[in-house]
Amino acid sequence: MSPRQHPLLEMKTKNPWHRPLIICVAIVFAVAVIGMVTTGVIQNRHIRQKYKYGIVLDAGSSHTSVYVYQWPAEKENNTGMVQQTHVCNVKGKGISSYAGSPDAAGSALGECMEEARSKVPTERQKETPVYLGATAGMRLLRMENQSASDQVLASVENFLKVTPLSYQGACIITGQEEGAYGWITVNYLGDNFRKAQRTMGALDLGGASTQITFVSGVEAQSPQDFIHFRLYGNEYHVYTHSFLCYGKDQALRLALSHRLRALPETTNSTLLDHCFHTGYRKQKDLSDVYDSPCVSKQGTPTGTFIHQGAGNWSLCHQHVQGLFNFSQCAKRSCSFNGVFQPPLQGTFGAFSAFFFVMNFLNLTSGSLDDAKQRLTSYCSTPWEKIQKDHPKVKEKYLSEYCFSGTYILTLLEDGYNFTSDTWKEIKFIKKIGDSDAGWTLGYMLNMTNMIPAEAPDRPPLPHSGYVAVMVLLALLLPGLLFLGYRLFRRSGSASRKQIV
């Protein structure tokens, strides 16, 4: 070694481990950062997603459906987490049709309950709540025959109690609850609550009742028609009204009874009906029309009549308008039959029979005028052609679509006051995502306290965002370290060059 060498150069040559040491430290540092991130990610990841389940039976007037819902166990208070995973339609009519043989009402649910149970893992079954809610069919039966309605409810209760699931009760829900839960369902599924965005109104048409529900800024005129909600930290002032007897099956009975009243009281007289297709001709029992508390009857009409179609939309429309009373309104504004309704606000999801019928008639899009024109042509199509064009549709449904479409247009335009302008605000929907629009999901969310009044605390970043940030940092830090080392070396060699 030369005695004239610079002292720094001397030191450098004296320490041959300097460079490998820095590389080693950098590697260890990088490994430590990667290790830290990996541990963080694994620790925070849900090792195996655990699900909870809930089952709701919708005991409607025309039929019963069994819905299975599922949600991640850790996230039950977050909106959008509950999803429908299965639905089973019970064979036969609604539970109110078992008034004469209540014992059979429970066992009729057997097949669908078994199917629903099989969708829930065995270890979760004991804790899976089961609710049955009955709607307008049972409301009518209770009005007509309270003990028959109690017996039918007892029969379904006895059946559901003995399943391995956690039976929570069977009851007749009110029309107001039915409307409110339908509104909660569509807005929960649309994620409107958590985002505090505008909510969507709900229009539900069943066989025996219909509900309209929407947020309104108008002062409550009739307190029974308003509900106040605080959901996820937001306040909602919601108008809801349920019209018993204005479901589409009861409305048809009402329409037939009006026309029958005008006929001579001889048996088997012919009823010419503009809401049914030309060429349609059926002998029907008067009891099919009159056997309902929705229809006023003088005496007990028995016997038969001939129901004959004479398809004419505008006459049918006039006739259907006669089912509503538009003249008396003691309140500021009304829908019909003197019922208060504030001005319509926002968009509306129209489901159940609103969807079934409008979807069949291809009227889910387009203007109100379009719908009227197309219905005019549909109603005037001969019955023979209708049957030929739709060989797979059940005859009872098929024969009624002209009436049902006309009823829906009349209810929406003349009843609820939608106009050609606001018609586009109605979205005819069956499902949102995988879940059916209807009252059952909202009911379950409420019964299981799954919609909190206040927004639950959430981490500032979603899990995927957190992982992305950590991975980025893990890549960036060793990179920076390496860059620092290179700069350090370059400045070292530059100063060496200067010195040399």
Rule CB under 6 A: is residue 203 a binding residue for ligand CTP?
no
- Give the angle 114-116-118 at the CA atoms, nearest 5°: 70
- Block residue for tokens 């014992």: 103
Interface positions, 236-255, toward ligand CTP (CB under 6 A) = 247-249
Q: Which two tokens stand for residue 393?
A: 């549709």
Q: Please select the residue that binds ligand CTP; options are 106, 207, 309, 342, rule is CB under 6 A.
A: 207
Whether 207 has a binding-site annotation, put simply, is: yes
Rule CB under 6 A: is residue 133 a binding residue for ligand CTP?
no
Interface positions, 38-67, toward ligand CTP (CB under 6 A) = 60-63
Rule CB under 6 A: is residue 94 a binding residue for ligand CTP?
yes
> Segment contacting ligand CTP (CB under 6 A): 130-138, 271-279, 308-316, 335-343?
130-138
Q: Which is nearer to ligand CTP, 128 or 410 (CB)?
A: 410
Q: Which is nearer to ligand CTP, 200 or 294 (CB)?
A: 294
Rule CB under 5 A: is residue 133 a binding residue for Ca ion?
no
Whether 26 has a binding-site annotation, put simply, is: no
DSSP for 21-57, please give it. HHHHHHHHHHHHHHHHHHHHHHHHS-SS--EEEEEEE
Size of the site for ligand CTP (CB under 6 A): 20
CA–CA separation, 363 vs 327, rounded Å?
A: 29
Catalytic residue among 111, 127, 178, 413: 178
Rule CB under 6 A: is residue 68 a binding residue for ligand CTP?
no
Q: Which two tokens stand for residue 13?
A: 């040559």
- Phi and psi torsions of 293, nearest 5°: -70, -10
**Minimum CB separation from ligand CTP for residue 135, in Å?**
3
Interface positions, 48-67, toward Ca ion (CB under 5 A) = 60
Question: If we measure between CA atoms, which residue out of 363, 351, 337, 334 comes closest to residue 423?
Answer: 363
Interface positions, 332-391, toward ligand CTP (CB under 6 A) = 352-353, 356-357
Do 411 and 210 meet the contact criterion of CB atoms below 8 Å apart? yes
Q: Which does 353 bind (CB under 5 to 8 A by kind): ligand CTP, Ca ion, none?
A: ligand CTP
**Minimum CB separation from ligand CTP for residue 244, in Å?**
9
Do 58 and 352 meet the contact criterion of CB atoms below 8 Å apart? no
CA–CA separation, 427 vs 349, rounded Å?
A: 5
Any idea what DSSP says for residue 85?
A: E
Q: How many residues does the chain have?
A: 500
221-229 LR contacts (CB < 8 Å, sep 24+): 221/331, 221/332, 221/340, 221/342, 222/331, 222/340, 224/176, 225/176, 225/339, 225/340, 227/176, 227/180, 229/184
Whether 208 has a binding-site annotation, put simply, is: yes
**Minimum CB separation from Ca ion for residue 458, in Å?**
34
What is each CA distance from 63 to 88, 89, 410, 439, 477, in whole angstroms? Answer: 11, 8, 25, 15, 63
Rule CB under 6 A: is residue 216 a binding residue for ligand CTP?
no
Rule CB under 5 A: is residue 179 a binding residue for Ca ion?
no
Rule CB under 5 A: is residue 206 a binding residue for Ca ion?
yes
Whether 209 has a binding-site annotation, put simply, is: yes
Neighbours of 480 (CB within 10 A): 10
Size of the site for Ca ion (CB under 5 A): 2
Q: Which is nearer to ligand CTP, 238 or 252 (CB)?
A: 252
Q: Please select the residue that binds ligand CTP; options are 196, 397, 419, 493, rule is CB under 6 A.
A: 397
Do 103 and 156 meet the contact criterion of CB atoms below 8 Å apart? no
Q: Which does 137 bind (CB under 5 to 8 A by kind): ligand CTP, Ca ion, none?
A: ligand CTP
Q: Which does 331 bind (CB under 5 to 8 A by kind): Ca ion, ligand CTP, none?
A: none
**Minimum CB separation from ligand CTP for residue 265, in Å?**
29
Residue 114 catalytic?
A: no
Interface positions, 246-305, toward Ca ion (CB under 5 A) = none
**Minimum CB separation from ligand CTP for residue 290, in Å?**
18
Q: Which two tokens stand for residue 465?
A: 């965002």
CA–CA separation, 480 vs 11, rounded Å?
A: 27
Q: Which does 356 bind (CB under 5 to 8 A by kind): ligand CTP, Ca ion, none?
A: ligand CTP
Rule CB under 5 A: is residue 311 a binding residue for Ca ion?
no
Rule CB under 6 A: is residue 212 a binding residue for ligand CTP?
no
CA–CA separation, 118 vs 342, rounded Å?
A: 46
Query: For 125-154, b where at least 16 C-beta lie within 10 A, e where not — what string?
Result: beebbbbbbbbbbbbbbbeeeeebbebbbe
Residue ranges at the known binding site for ATP: 207-211
Residue ranges at the known binding site: 207-211
Q: Which residues are catalytic?
A: 178
The residues that touch ligand CTP, with contacts defined as CB under 6 A, are 60-63, 94, 135-137, 206-209, 247-249, 352-353, 356-357, 397
